[in-house]
Amino acid sequence: MPQLNDIQTMMRDAARDFAQNELKPNSPKWDKSAEHPVAVIKQLGEMGFYGLTVSEEFGGSGAGYLSLALVVEEIAKGDGALSTITSVMNSVVCSPIAQYGTQAQKETWLTPLATGEALGAFCLTEPQAGSDAAALKTKAVKTDSGWRLSGSKQFITNGAIADLAIVFAVTDPALGKKGLSAFLVPAHLEGFTVPVVEEKMGQRASDTAQLVFNDIELPADALLGAEGQGYAIALGNLEGGRIGIAAQCVGMAQAAFDVAAAYANERESFGDTLMHHQAVGFRLAEMDTQIEAARQLVWHAARLKDEGRKALREAAMAKLFASEMAERVVSEAMQTLGGYGYLTDFPIEQIYRDVRVARIYEGTSDIQKMIIARDIEGRFS
């Protein structure tokens, strides 16, 4: 395992301590009640976990993507839902503003977002357009004073609690995906509504909402980046998002594995511990190997990002492998506990529900395979 520097070690340890002492004990309660613990969510930002890719000038630490992966993994061990929020706040809320925002936009929004004073949402997916970002229908029309935004978004993390939404809209229908632009939309504006907060199978402490924009009037300086740059902004930051979700998968799989390994070393069957039965021991060995392989893929992609190198292929591989791995590992952990694993008294049942969505969001497994396949085609054609 590569050597971590002092900042990475400090961030990881702080996240681990907070996750085990504050998140893990409360996670079952939040899951059962579908409570969105806003105070705790903001506390994660106050601890510096939302500004990992933001410079110190705007309230971040500039610790980088490997630090992000380390932090998200640890938080996921305590609560999967809040690790999703941590990944979103870093990779697709703070990062695009840090990269494309004007000085004024950064001063207004980036600092409060990086420090947890404000919460943000990344609004790309629509009811009829998920993986196909070029099929968006939300539109922004130029006016004398700026823009008029109308449309709807679906499956938006933080949608009901966000102070700011980064909204992708069509500004020139004739240009296809080159006619998309990104906008900074404060949630308090007239016409910004949250008609639905979805009821979900898992990750119930994280709100997932539908948003509707009813002819919202935006000033000209609400535009993030240049007009027509929306598609590039969206896809460029999904790369970091995939690293975050892959790290989340490693964390949830590790949490389930730890429960199963402890149980196998304590529970006796046929006169010996489960661990000494080859079927169980080999199962755990395979699980341990799969988790470590996924972790190394995540770390490799994160290090490439930190070095300023392209990591589209590597991030896709990490997200694909880690999400598929995590579902298998958590299922095998449940199998190791037998009937107890199926009970809500044990944490694996919740992790099993929490981890399933990881193969869907931030690009489905099929989308990751498409990205990897295109890279192969480019290298060998």
Rounded Cα gap, residues 135 and 139, in angstroms: 11
Q: Taking CA 281 as the corner, what is the angle to CA 280 and CA 283, rounded to the nearest 5 degrees?
A: 65
Rounded Cα gap, residues 286 and 289, in angstroms: 5
Q: Of these residues, 307, 314, 362, 377, which one is catalytic? A: 362
Map residue 115 onto helix, strand or coil: coil
Q: What is the dihedral of CA 37, 39, 40, 46, to 10 degrees?
A: 150
Count CB atoms within 10 A of the CB of residue 112. Answer: 19
286 is a catalytic site residue: no
Strand partners, 269: 272
Residues 6+ apart with CB under 8 A from 340: 263, 346
Q: Which of 57, 56, 74, 82 is nearest to 11 (CA)?
A: 74
Rounded Cα gap, residues 256 and 333, in angstroms: 6
139 touches 69 (CB < 8 A):
no
Count CB atoms within 10 A of the CB of residue 186. Answer: 16
* Distance set, CA 98 to CA 58, 156, 241, 307 (Å): 9, 21, 15, 17
User: What's 126's DSSP letter?
Assistant: B
- As given in the structure block, the two tokens for residue 280 are 């169980």
Strand partners, 212: 152, 193
Going 186 to 191 to 195 to 196, the CA torsion angle's sign is negative
Rounded Cα gap, residues 129 and 170, in angstroms: 13
165 touches 123 (CB < 8 A):
yes
251 touches 83 (CB < 8 A):
yes
- As given in the structure block, the two tokens for residue 91 are 């990779």
Question: β-strand 180-186 against 223-224: which pairing, if any?
Answer: antiparallel
Catalytic residue set: 362
